[in-house]
Chain A
Amino acid sequence: MSLLQVENLMVDYLTPDGALRAVDGVSFELKRGEILGLVGESGSGKSTAAMAAMRILGPPALITGGEVLFDGRDVLRMSAEQLRRWHWREISIVMQSALNALNPVLTMQEHFLDTIAAHRPELSNAEMLTRAAELLKMVDIDPRHLNSYPHELSGGMRQRVVIALALTLNPPLLIMDEPTTALDVVVEREILKRVLQLQKEMGFAILFITHDLSLLLEFATRLGVLYAGRLVAIGPTEIFRQGGIHPYTQGLLQAVPQLRGKREAFKSIPGSPPSLKKPPNGCRFHPRCPLVEERCRKEQPVLKHVQHGHQVACHVRT
């Protein structure tokens, strides 16, 4: 059984001009110990989909359809108390801005004690402190920083603390929403290496959300590509490494300047991502697609199996 199963998820944002569908029929599953990458540009619905699956979205967002199963349990029907117990023990999230994720007037120690006390009240204060120190060491931070305030730590250190907090209760699933986007490349790489080591040791699964496809290619088990609220490709990372099959995936891969090989001409995808207020008819990528055909303008393609577990939503490629 898969750890997380998302079926045909729909999320709307209620705006004064009417409802706007941010996530439109997205389905994916995540097995235990697996790393699934969700990639997309701004407005593609990648964060909304993950936050909806975790039930941490508030108004004006509204889950209007679909099903989310965690270990066989129906997440969309969980009560507030069930959600409280589920969050952090079994699923936790690391967000992009570590500065905002930490409370500026609390020390690191207070952050850890708060989290541990909420979920493991049976532990004594001393036991909690030992655990907090252990968690900081796990992410390569000297436990003397337990008495530091967020502003006394660098951006990279803060993000490490947020990761340690998320792993406090050994959850089987960790959602990482652009966890390193605000960081420098060297720091980014150091943190990701550590997270992957921990993932191997502790065996948790990761749902990794980012706009950076080339980064995901280096460590994800499987990848899903979102465009304007719809999943357009999903499958094992290998096929993406070879250039992908969906024209949008191919365009994205080519739009990233390369360090190696010949300096090529500037390649990009013409146009810009559509507005969700008025998404194009048919395939949402068709106005920018180099392979566009007549039926792409009318019929919305659905995900179809192409090869080795790789699915794409494209009339031309399937």
Chain B
Amino acid sequence: MADKLLDIQHLGVHFAIGGLFDKSTLRAVHDVHFSVDRGDIVALVGESGSGKSTIAKLICRLEKPTSGKILLDGKDVLETEPHAAGKEYRKRVQMIFQYPFGSLNPVHTVAYHLSRPLQLHQIIRSNDLRPRILQLLETVGLRPAEDFIDKFPHSLSGGQRQRVAIARALATEPDLICADEPTSMLDVSIRMDILRLLTDLRKEQQTAFIFVTHDLAAARQLADRILVLYAGQLVEEATSDDLIADPKHPYAQLLLAAAPQQGGSLDTPLPAKPGAPKNVDPQPGCAFAERCSQAMDVCRQQTPGWTWMENKRRVRCYLYGDTRADEETTK
């Protein structure tokens, strides 16, 4: 397909942990498979330890996968650039981090932060640097830009810093931005501003986003599609509306039931047992089986494969079909 931008195939990160005598494997990310079209906003949703941030870092090539492929425009970048991403890849794929206090250098001005990507990627001649920086600041809503360009990070609020971080990511005019919980450190009253900014950028510049979040309501607000992760594995993919209206995977149902919402009540029972994702020395079978209230014998024996449904929806659960994961690809 012409507009497929990023294609992730069987991506995995397995670590060997422990000492000489008690070796174990930690599966941070396992057999993750999805694609992102140009201008698409895809949300990765899950709890801590689900691997959602790790996937964003793998795609931005800040961490190395131990298996799988990352294809950008059909080109396998792990094969052509096995050790580190090339300049071209870095230019096209950018990242925004969760913590806007840590992602900007306190001894440099806003202008410096934004000039670096422009100079490194030789996007602009040095004479045009300042006008372009002003333009970037305008784009992210820091107006009048002249007031912000020479400021240091400490004199900006959290929301303003996050806008600078977004402007920095935009400087290279990337095709894809991975945003790792870009609003979770910000005050409630300004979170929506940042989300709105991301949708505007998509509209105006056709930038695609991978939006990493634990907040299902924010994912629904922003994203076209939601991918749900549990213990490093994708368990469901659907359009945002489909997923929120009718989550199929029992873990997606649990996440939705646990999200605070208007008219909700703490008296409503949760549809699963307490527990945490188990990433160390995973046993065969569905990772969620031990917490799942609908688990069957087969769920504990073999990892479920994908069952496809209408509207390009897929769910990894035996409740919807008896497809088993191909053990060759899941090892």
Contact = CB atoms under 8 A, between A and B. Distances in A.
Interface string A272-301: 110000000000000010000000000000
Contacts of A260: 261-263
Interface stretch (B77-85, B115-123, B188-196): B188-196
B258 A188 contact: yes
Contact of A268 (B48, B193, B218, B266): B193
8 contacts: A184-B47, A186-B272, A186-B274, A257-B218, A260-B262, A266-B196, A268-B196, A272-B160
Instruction: Count chain A CB atoms within 10 A of each CB in B159, B191, B265, B266 and give the residue with the most.
Output: B266
B106 interface: no
B270 interface: yes
Interface stretch (A8-16, A64-72, A213-221): A213-221
Nearest to A217: B262
Contact of A251 (B189, B258, B260, B272): B189
A41 interface: yes
A263 B242 CA distance: 13
Contacts of B62: none
B195 A272 contact: no
B256 interface: yes
B188 A266 contact: no
Interface residues on B, range: 35 or more
Interface string A241-253: 1000000000111
A163 B244 CA distance: 33
Given A42-B187, A185-B255, A266 B262 contact: no
B19 interface: no
B217 interface: yes
Contact of B188 (A154, A218, A256): A256
Contacts of B98: none
Interface of A: 41-42, 140, 154-156, 184-190, 192-193, 196, 211-215, 217-219, 241, 251-253, 255-260, 263, 266-269, 272-273, 288
Nearest to B200: A266
A212 B216 CA distance: 15
Interface in B105-137: none
A229 B231 CA distance: 42
Contacts of A259: 216-217, 220, 244, 256, 259, 261
A273 B193 CA distance: 14
Contacts of B191: 255, 268
Contacts of A273: 157, 187, 189
Interface string B245-270: 00000000011101111111110001
B187 A211 contact: yes
B265 A257 contact: no
A212 to B, nearest CB: 7
Instruction: Count chain B CB atoms within 10 A of each CB in A41, A156, A186 and give the residue with the most.
Output: A186
Instruction: Count chain B CB atoms within 10 A of each CB in A187, A263, A267, A272 and give the residue with the most.
Output: A272
B47 A185 contact: yes
B261 A269 contact: no
Given A186-B255, A259-B244, 19 more contacts: A140-B274, A155-B48, A186-B274, A188-B258, A215-B260, A217-B260, A218-B264, A218-B266, A219-B265, A252-B189, A255-B191, A257-B192, A258-B262, A263-B221, A268-B189, A268-B193, A268-B196, A273-B157, A273-B189
Given A269-B190, A272-B190, A192 B221 contact: no
A34 to B, nearest CB: 16
B61 interface: no
A267 B214 contact: no
B125 to A, nearest CB: 35
Contacts of B220: 257, 259, 263
Nearest to B187: A41
Nearest to A211: B188
Contacts of A253: 262
Contacts of A154: 276
Interface string B175-194: 00000000000011111110
A184 B221 contact: no
Interface string B45-72: 0011000000000000000000000000
Contact of B217 (A186, A193, A196, A256): A256
B266 A255 contact: no
Contact of A185 (B158, B196, B258, B265): B258
Nearest to B256: A259
A257 B255 contact: no
Nearest to A42: B187
Nearest to A191: B274
A255 B159 CA distance: 15
B199 interface: yes
Nearest to B47: A184
B258 A186 contact: yes
A190 B47 contact: no
Contacts of B218: 257
A191 B113 CA distance: 42
A255 B262 contact: no
A195 to B, nearest CB: 9
Contacts of B244: 259
B192 A268 contact: yes
A272 B194 CA distance: 12
B260 A252 contact: no
A255 B192 contact: yes
Interface in B129-158: 157-158
